[in-house]
Chains A and B, each alone.
Chain A
Amino acid sequence: EPEVTQTPSHQVTQMGQEVILRCVPISNHLYFYWYRQILGQKVEFLVSFYNNEISEKSEIFDDQFSVERPDGSNFTLKIRSTKLEDSAMYFCASSDPISGRGTDTQYFGPGTRLTVL
Chain B
Amino acid sequence: DAKTTQPTSMDCAEGRAANLPCNHSTISGNEYVYWYRQIHSQGPQYIIHGLKNNETNEMASLIITEDRKSSTLILPHATLRDTAVYYCIVSSYGNNRLAFGKGNQVVVIP
Contacts and interface: CB of A to CB of B under 8 A. Distances in A.
Contacts of B17: none
* Interface size, B (range): 20 to 34
Interface stretch (B4-12, B38-46, B62-70, B76-84): B38-46
A102 B93 contact: yes
B44 A103 contact: no
B94 A97 contact: yes
A48 interface: yes
Q: Which of A35, A43, A93 has the most CB of B within 10 A?
A: A43
Contact of B93 (A37, A58, A97): A97
Contacts of A43: 38, 44, 87, 98, 100
Secondary structure at the B interface, as helix, strand, loop or mixed, is loop
B100 A42 contact: yes
Contacts, number: 56
B45 A108 contact: yes
Contacts of A110: 42-43
B32 A103 contact: yes
Interface string B70-101: 00000000000000000100000110111111
Given A43-B100, A102-B93, 14 more contacts: A4-B43, A31-B96, A35-B98, A42-B101, A45-B98, A45-B99, A48-B96, A48-B97, A103-B49, A108-B43, A109-B43, A110-B43, A111-B41, A111-B43
14 contacts: A43-B38, A45-B99, A89-B41, A91-B43, A93-B43, A97-B93, A102-B93, A104-B93, A104-B94, A106-B98, A108-B44, A110-B43, A111-B42, A111-B43
Interface of B: 32, 34, 36, 38, 41-46, 49, 87, 93-94, 96-102
